[in-house]
Amino acid sequence: MKQGLPNYQFGQAFQFVFITLITGMGIGLSVSLVASIFVAGLHFFVDQRHSMDKYLPSLKIADGSLVPLIWLIGAALLLWLVRRIFSVQRWHGPADSIFGAHRLDNEIDVKSGIGSTLAAFISLSGGASVGQYGPLVHFGATIGTYIRSVFGNKSIGTDVFIGCGVAAAIAAGFHAPIAGIVFAHEAILRHFSFRALTPIAISSITSVWFSTAIFGSEPLFTLNAAATDLLPMVPILLGSGLLFGVVAMFFMLALFKSAAIAAKTGFSPLVLTLVAATICGSVAILMPEILGSGVTEINLIFNGGYALEFLFLLFVLKLLATSLCIGFGLFGGVFSPAAMIGTAAGGFVGEFLASVGVVTVPQLLPVAGFAAVTAAVVGAPISVVLIVFELTQSYDFAVAAMLAAVIASFFTSLVFGHSFFDEQLLRRGVDLSRGRSDLELQSQPINSVVSNDFIALLSDAKTKDAIEKLVKAKKSEGYCIDADNRFLGKYTLPELLSAPKQAKLSECLVTDPVVLNHDASVLQAMEVASNFVGETIPVIQNENNTIVGVVSEADIFDAYLVTQSRVHDLEHS
């Protein structure tokens, strides 16, 4: 009868728990500090931008000001400098965090991650119509990856480090620790395990504690209302949920369309950002509400601060401005703009229904729009609903947000995709729906399982010599090459045995056998091997048609089993 755990098992467990605590707290503190400084810095520069009107009245024009235009052009120029300093080919965001968490090697480019975070800070400080949470999420993932690489922690997977950083960023940004934990699992890791949950929870809670202790706990959004008697609102919430799904779909399509237009122009990144800055800044002269992440405007909409016509105009212009900024290189996130677009759409629907005599619960539809559009865009309905709950402290509002969010997310998943980030990856050739195993096999080159154990003879070799070599090597197949090692074809023992002994090998070849390109992946090899009958498949160098090795079905199957085992350990340990 087992009396208890041996001492070495207890010691290992204690050591692992200690490492988990240190990891979670360390990442939580690091990300919380940077996220809090990021947000505080944004507030400082936004205040400077707003106060510029007071001490530079000459910048006034009509009913607006040239200040937004000047700041955005300055931000565009600084982004060009950041791109040069960090050698960034493209800005990195949550899509890269998700991809990193789904790869067993978890490659996240730390330099590009830091450069992209700085770029987002510059864009937001200049007033670009982008969000702050996407860049902070990726920064958290970058910090998690960097900390693991520095300390060489092998007992916890890098995907968990990424999850810790992401949870800490969300928790610090929204003061919502539970939402941070769920978001890391729902949107980034997309699997659940106790080894992941514990450090992620510690990181999220530590992040909120630290940011609250140092920078205060002022709520991000304020909602001065209480939702009562929601049952009559269910049909309206169902209908509006579908409408919000359409809004989210158009927003994501606009983002991709803008990027496609920018690519077709052939302009340099500097010119593209200047174009976006000029257009967005010019519109902001008369409509400054489209600038920034939109937190102030969301709070005003929540509390009925805008009229019907203005809400529609704000909704349209915010959608277009954000698409222009992100598509043309004024880098930032989509979370906050999606939230503002959804809130404006919800406010418009609520005001419209009130204008035709339909009584609704005040603030309910703006909150539902906030949750629904954001959830559909980022692909995390449960996390967004938890953010609503933790921000509003209202169970009724959270239920209403859930109803609209799941309808919107379900609709966009059917007609568009799981999220904006998944579609970004899909357009790069990464299909997350196929799971970690396929992603790993797709990234694993066939060269990793290639064997040099094969028989290759020149085309003028005799049949009897080929038979002798195959029998001695206990093989049934071999390959024919020319003097320059170029692949000519394949020969098999049964065919050779039925041919004249003095016949040339070139007369007994299968000239169009199944082959693999040297740059193929193991996943592609699996697809090819599914219809293959034979001993081995030759791997051919494309440029000069030389044979670099062979693979057997057993080699491919072994690679698949190893990958499956690693993925199982990752997702179920």
Give the domain ranges of the chain.
13-215, 231-266+282-432, 441-563
Report the CATH number of the 441-563 domain. Answer: 3.10.580.10
HSE-up (13 A, CA, CB side) for residue 120: 30
Question: Between the CA of residue 433 and those of 419, 430, 453, 527, what are the distances in Å?
Answer: 11, 9, 36, 18
> Are 13-215 and 231-266+282-432 in the same CATH fold?
yes
**Look-up of token digits 């800055």:** 277
Which ranges in 216-304 belong to alpha helices (H)? 234-265, 269-284, 295-302
The answer for residues whose C-beta is within 8 angstroms of residue 557's C-beta and 6 or more apart is: none
Residue 456: enclosing H or E segment and its boundaries?
A: strand 456-458
Q: For the chain, state the CA radius of gyration.
A: 29
Beta pairing partners, 479: 456, 490
pLDDT by position in tens, the chain (length 573): 344 444 446 667 677 777 788 888 999 999 999 988 998 899 899 888 888 877 766 667 767 788 889 999 999 999 999 999 998 889 999 999 998 888 766 668 889 999 999 999 999 999 999 999 999 999 999 998 888 878 766 667 778 889 999 999 999 888 889 999 999 999 998 888 777 888 999 999 999 999 888 777 666 666 666 656 677 788 899 999 999 999 999 999 999 999 999 999 999 999 999 999 999 999 998 899 999 888 889 989 988 888 899 999 999 999 999 999 999 999 999 999 999 999 999 999 999 998 888 877 778 899 999 999 999 999 999 999 998 888 777 788 888 899 999 999 999 999 999 999 999 999 988 888 877 777 778 778 888 888 888 888 888 888 888 888 889 888 889 988 888 888 888 888 888 888 888 888 888 888 788 889 888 888 888 888 887 888 888 999 888 888 888 998 888 888 888 878 777 766 665
Q: Helix or strand or coil: residue 176?
A: coil
Q: What is the fold, at CATH topology level, of the domain defined by 13-215? A: Clc chloride channel (1.10.3080)
Report the CATH number of the 231-266+282-432 domain. Answer: 1.10.3080.10
